[in-house]
Chain A
Amino acid sequence: MVPTNYYVILSAILFGLGVFAFIFKRNVITIFMSIELMLNAVNLAFVAFSQALGKLDGQVFVLFVIVVAAAEAAVGLGIIILIARNRQTLNVERVDLLKL
Chain B
Amino acid sequence: MTAPLVVFFVLAGLAVIGAVSLILQEHPIHSALSLIVVMVALAGLYLLLGAEFVAAVQIIVYGGAIMVLFVFVIMLLNAGVEEHTSLSKMAGAPGLLLVVALGGFVAATIAKSTESVQAAPQTGEIASTTGISNMLFKDFVYPFELTSFLILVAVLGAVVLAQREKL
Instruction: Say yes or no: A56 contacts B135, CB within 8 Å.
Output: yes
The CA of A51 and the CA of B114, in the complex, are separated in Å by: 15
Main secondary structure of the interface of B (DSSP, over half): helix
Instruction: Say yes or no: B66 contacts A36, CB within 8 Å.
Output: yes
Instruction: Say yes or no: A54 contacts B121, CB within 8 Å.
Output: yes
Instruction: Say yes or no: A24 contacts B151, CB within 8 Å.
Output: no
- Asked whether A71 is an interface residue with its Cβ less than 8 Å from the other chain, the reply is yes
Instruction: Say yes or no: B157 contacts A78, CB within 8 Å.
Output: yes
Instruction: Say yes or no: A52 contacts B122, CB within 8 Å.
Output: yes
Chain B: minimal CB distance from A93 (Å): 6
Residues of A within 8 A of B99 (CB): 16-17, 19-20, 23
Chain B residues close to A by CB (< 8 Å): 4-5, 8, 12, 15-16, 19-20, 22-23, 28, 31-32, 35, 38-39, 42, 45-46, 48-51, 53-54, 57-58, 61-62, 65-66, 69-70, 73-74, 76-77, 79, 82-85, 87-88, 91-92, 94-96, 98-100, 102-103, 106-107, 110, 114, 117-118, 120-124, 126, 128, 131-132, 135-136, 140, 143, 147, 150-151, 153-155, 157-158, 161-162
